[in-house]
């Protein structure tokens, strides 16, 4: 790890800023003090102010994987650090450095424009590059942790910048060292290593169906197919508030899987890298009758039971109440515990 601290003028705080457009659930949220962070050097100055006044604080990216309360007291750092560049290349791979505020989907599209395939299965995942390693975002058999070389972040415990290697990030399924140490790191830059040797990954059911007549699709074709599938399954947050997949796909031992499979022959699952079985959380929720159901101002999306939605005027309390109902029903029916994927502030 290395560290540096550079003095720079503090960005002016914006009092009582509405964050309704900064969280994809579309909740009415007010930030007591908001700071637009456009460079890493601004963070130490803001954090010194936070420490001096003993303010509560949090960093916020695209707001696509969060559940925010009506009031965010203290300081909210709005992460808008831009920039992406190829920093080195050799016979086997290319290194790309990307600012934490860069839109994730736009970055994936850019890699294809640069003829650097590998991330196409992760197309159309909402949010920013800075949030990607925290959740170790993944889709259709690909996890971003497999492509990360290092992560630069501000460590609130030491008040210095640090760079964590891929190994130090401790990536696991929808998990990382950052997620296990909440309220500590503010990700400012992510460096990706993209291998030059590419292979299509279309083993997930939706992609297999999409490419039933094409066993060797191009990266661009996979990108477009993923966009098509996600657009069909997931509602546009601009139309109806949501945070995408709300629950993680639970991973269970093979013995438990065999027992469930005997009782539910149609059980949807996938092999896990550790030799266990990953169940489709959406299927479990659907079997419990929640798909398309509404509870007050919130509900379960009609085309995908894994997605909880805000029909308008919903709150964090509403969505979490619905989530608890789903968790209890699924556990009663299948003996499986569903974990919430978004971060609860």
Residues labelled as active-site residues: 174, 245, 341
**66 within 8 A of 22, measured Cβ to Cβ:** no
Sequence-separated (6 or more) residues with CB below 8 Å from residue 99: 81, 82, 83, 84, 129, 130, 188, 189
Cα–Cα distance measured from residue 244 to residue 240, given in angstroms and rounded to the nearest whole number: 11
Coil vs helix vs strand at 345: coil
**31 within 8 A of 74, measured Cβ to Cβ:** no
Give the angle 316-252-124 at the CA atoms, nearest 5°.
50
Cα–Cα distance measured from residue 151 to residue 192, given in angstroms and rounded to the nearest whole number: 9
Nearest alpha-carbon partner for 189 in 86, 98, 82, 95: 98
What is the separation, in whole angstroms, between the first and last Cα of the chain? 28
Cα–Cα distance measured from residue 208 to residue 328, given in angstroms and rounded to the nearest whole number: 33
Cα–Cα distance measured from residue 283 to residue 345, given in angstroms and rounded to the nearest whole number: 28
Give the angle 204-263-302 at the CA atoms, nearest 5°.
50
Cα–Cα distance measured from residue 193 to residue 93, given in angstroms and rounded to the nearest whole number: 6
Cα–Cα distance measured from residue 101 to residue 188, given in angstroms and rounded to the nearest whole number: 8
Phi, psi for 33 (deg, rounded to 5):
-140, 120
């Amino acid at each position: 790890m290395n560290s540096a601290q550079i003095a720079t003028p503090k960005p002016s705080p914006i009092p009582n800023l509405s964050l309704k457009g900064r969280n994809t659930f579309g909740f009415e949220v007010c930030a007591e003090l908001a700071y637009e962070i456009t460079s890493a050097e601004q963070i130490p100055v803001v954090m010194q102010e936070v420490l001096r006044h003993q303010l509560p604080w949090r960093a916020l990216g695209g707001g696509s994987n969060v559940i925010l309360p009506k009031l965010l007291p203290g300081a909210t750092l709005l992460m808008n650090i831009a920039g992406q560049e190829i920093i080195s290349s050799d016979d086997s791979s290319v290194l790309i450095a990307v600012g934490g505020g860069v839109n994730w989907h736009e970055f994936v599209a850019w890699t294809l424009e640069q003829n650097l395939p590998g991330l196409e299965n992760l197309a159309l995942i909402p949010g920013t590059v800075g949030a990607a390693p925290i959740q170790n975002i993944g889709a259709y058999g690909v996890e971003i942790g497999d492509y990360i070389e290092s992560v630069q972040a501000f460590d609130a415990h030491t008040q210095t910048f640090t760079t964590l290697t891929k190994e130090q990030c401790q990536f696991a399924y929808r998990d990382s060292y950052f997620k296990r140490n909440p309220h500590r790191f503010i990700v400012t830059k992510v460096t990706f290593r993209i291998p030059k040797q590419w292979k299509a990954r279309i083993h997930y059911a939706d992609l297999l169906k999409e490419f039933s007549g094409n066993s060797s699709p191009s990266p661009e074709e996979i990108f477009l197919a993923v966009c098509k599938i996600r657009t069909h399954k997931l509602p546009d947050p601009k139309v109806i508030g949501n945070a995408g997949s709300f629950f993680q796909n639970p991973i269970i031992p093979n013995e438990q899987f065999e027992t469930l499979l005997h009782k539910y022959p149609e059980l949807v699952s996938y092999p896990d890298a550790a030799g266990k079985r990953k169940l489709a959380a959406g299927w479990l929720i659907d079997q419990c009758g929640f798909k398309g159901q509404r509870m007050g101002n919130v509900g379960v999306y009609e085309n995908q039971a894994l997605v909880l939605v805000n029909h308008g005027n919903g709150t964090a309390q509403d969505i979490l109440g619905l989530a608890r109902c789903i968790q209890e029903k699924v556990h009663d029916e299948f003996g499986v515990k569903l974990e919430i994927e978004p971060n609860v502030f």
